[in-house]
Amino acid sequence: MHLLKRPILIAAGAAAIVAAPLTAKAVEYVNILTGGQAGVYYPLGVAMEKLFAAQIPDVQPSVQSTKASVENLNLLQDGKGEIALALGDSVALAWEGNADAGFKAPLDKLRAIGAIYPNYIQIVASKESGITTLADLKGKRLSVGAPRSGTELNARAILGAAGISYDDLGKVEYLPFAESVELMKNRQLDATLQSAGLGVASIRDLATSVDIVVVEVPADVVAKIGAPYIAATIPAGTYTGQDADVATAAVVNFLVTHSGVSDDLAYGMTKAIFENLDQLVAAHSAARAISLENAPKDSPIPLHPGAERYYREKGVM
């Protein structure tokens, strides 16, 4: 009996050796931190989710709707996300640990994947409010974005440079884009400040329901704030009823990750995004402004080594 058992044991061992390489690799979860569903971050996050699932082996991506930049950066520092979209000024303040901006200490784990498209500061008033300039906002009801969001940090900067404080306003609402628009439709708000890519869904929705005025942010106001704010233009026809170009400010957005993300995953995410930009453009027209050449430039935080590896391969660093 002993002699008969031995070949069976050997055969079983051999079968185990053959089966071993077929064991599935552990799935890596990739949480993509975005913003409100009526903004630009969210549809771009959904597009990235599809790209990562198709292009990166053994990953399971998911999209999380958040209050955007500030919340995203704090979540990354805590390891509760693998990639996020965030405004450049928020990223710089997070790296410094600016408590007023919502960062209790320097977020030293943040690493950049790359620069993407600019956010345009879009101040939109109902025509019946009589608001045509920044000065006209005094005494009026304005939504400045979710509390301590990237949009709200932009609102503080723009109004401050124009010599306007929150105390000068008739009422301040701290609401995300879609909620701001609903209040304007119901005549409970006079204006909304939204920091987003051009053609953002919330303002398109508003402009089809209410006669609007897109309020200018003059170049001298932008110059007072300085980098990373730049003078920009909202082209005529971006929104229904906007018949002329409007001067404003813009701030570049970044894709951000953290130091705990492996070089291979960061490389894979960077490659998937920049080799499939057409799919991001299909998700939102703001992505037309994304370019591989500009991606590694002017980051307020260090590039992730995995992203840097991709840019060096492509010859853009």
Give residue 97's pLDDT.
Answer: 98
Give residue 149's pLDDT.
Answer: 86
Q: Which residues are registered as beta bridge partners of 121?
A: 195
Q: Judge: domain 28-117+253-314, CATH 3.40.190.10.
A: yes
Which CATH number applies to 119-251? 3.40.190.10
Rounded alpha-carbon distances, angstroms, from residue 316 to 267, 288, 289, 294:
15, 19, 17, 8
Query: How confident is the prediction along the chain (317 residues), in pLDDT tens digits per residue?
Result: 444 444 444 444 444 444 444 456 789 999 999 998 988 999 999 999 999 999 999 999 999 999 999 999 999 999 999 999 999 999 999 999 999 999 999 999 999 999 999 999 999 999 999 999 999 999 999 999 988 788 999 999 999 999 999 999 999 999 999 999 999 999 999 999 999 999 999 999 999 999 999 999 999 999 999 888 999 999 999 999 999 999 999 999 999 999 999 999 999 999 999 999 999 999 999 999 999 999 999 899 999 999 999 999 999 99
**In the chain, what is the straight-line distance between the N-terminal and C-terminal CA atoms, in Å?**
70
Q: Which residue carries 């597009």 as its tokens?
A: 47
Give residue 13's pLDDT.
Answer: 46
Domain spans of the chain, in order of start: 28-117+253-314, 119-251
Note whether 28-117+253-314 and 119-251 share their fold: yes
Give residue 148's pLDDT.
Answer: 78
CA distance 16 to 10: 10
CA distance 46 to 50: 7
Give residue 174's pLDDT.
Answer: 96
Give residue 180's pLDDT.
Answer: 97
Give residue 24's pLDDT.
Answer: 60
